[in-house]
Amino acid sequence: EPEVTQTPSHQVTQMGQEVILRCVPISNHLYFYWYRQILGQKVEFLVSFYNNEISEKSEIFDDQFSVERPDGSNFTLKIRSTKLEDSAMYFCASIGAYEQYFGPGTRLTVT
Amino acid sequence: AQSVTQLDSQVPVFEEAPVELRCNYSSSVSVYLFWYVQYPNQGLQLLLKYLSGSTLVKGINGFEAEFNKSQTSFHLRKPSVHISDTAEYFCAVTPRAPGNQFYFGTGTSLTVIP
C-alpha cells in the first residue's frame, strides 16, 4: 500500500536555528498539506499546496514558515529562526479520493 | 466555516465493555467525515470514513460509526474493547470538494482498563 514518508523522525534544534522537515507524498496525489500537533493538543492545519503554489494557509503559517516542492517527489516545510513554541509533531499529508494520507510525523524539539 | 467538537476528552472503559466516542460537527457546507486513531508516539491512522451512502460505516479493528445528519453527529462505537484500543481518537471533517483541509476535533483519549 502506498504511504507518505517523512524525515527525520525526530529533530532537535536550538532556538533561532532553521530547520527543514521533509516529506515524500504519494506519487500520484496532487494536494499536499502540513499539519502541526503540539503535545497533548489537537491536530492543526498549517498549509496546503497545489500546482506548485500555496492554496490555503492558516494564521499559524506566518513568514517564519515556507513550503517548497523542489522536485517531483519531495515536499518540504522550512521553519526559519525556530522558537520554543514551535516544538511539536509535524505531519505531512497528501490527498487521494478525499482521504488524506498522513505521514508518521516529525517530532521537532526546540531547546 | 467548519468545526468539530469532541466533548469527551478522556474515556476510561473496562476491557470487553462497549464504548462510544462522541463527535459533533458544524458546517455551512456538506462534508465528509473521518475518524483517526493515534497510538502513542505514532502518526494518524484512518479508522473509517463516511463519504456517502449508508449512514453506518464500518472500519478497522471492529469500530463503526453512524452519520446522523439531523444531529450533525458522527459517533464512534465498538461493542467490546481490547487493551490494544488504548489510544487517542480524532474526529475530522472536510468540505465535499477536493483539496480542502481537514478540521480536527481536540481528540478523545480512550483508556482500556484490564
User: Which positions in chain A touch B33 (Cβ < 8 Å)?
Assistant: none
User: Does residue A9 register a pLDDT over 90?
Assistant: yes
Q: Is A25 within 8 Å of chain B by CB?
A: no
Q: Are strands B19-21 and B10-14 parallel, antiparallel or unpaired?
A: unpaired
User: Which positions in chain B touch A61 (Cβ < 8 Å)?
Assistant: none
Is B98 close to A45, i.e. CB distance below 8 A? no
Confidence tier at A87 by pLDDT (50, 70, 90): very high
pLDDT in tens, chain B (114 residues): 789 999 999 999 999 999 999 999 999 888 999 999 999 878 888 999 999 889 999 999 999 999 999 999 999 999 999 999 999 999 999 988 777 889 999 999 999 999
Is A99 close to B46, i.e. CB distance below 8 A? yes
Q: Would you say domain A5-110 falls under CATH 2.60.40.10? A: yes
| HEC per residue, chain A | CCCCEEECCEEEECCCCCEEEEEECCCCCCEEEEEEECCCCCEEEEEEEECCEEEEECCCCCCCEEEECCCCCCEEEEECCCCHHHCEEEEEEEEECCEEEECCCEEEEEC
Quick one: which of B107, B102, B96, B80 has its CA closest to B16?
A: B80
In CATH, what class is B3-113?
mainly beta
Considering CB atoms only, which of B45, B51, B104 is closest to A98?
Answer: B51
What are the sequence ranges of the domains in chain B?
Answer: 3-113
Is A42 close to B36, i.e. CB distance below 8 A? no
Q: Is A34 within 8 Å of chain B by CB?
A: no
Q: Is A33 within 8 Å of chain B by CB?
A: yes
Which amino acid is located at B114 in the chain?
P
**What pLDDT score was predicted for residue A95?**
87
**What pLDDT score was predicted for residue B110?**
97
| Cα of B43 to nearest chain A Cα, Å | 4
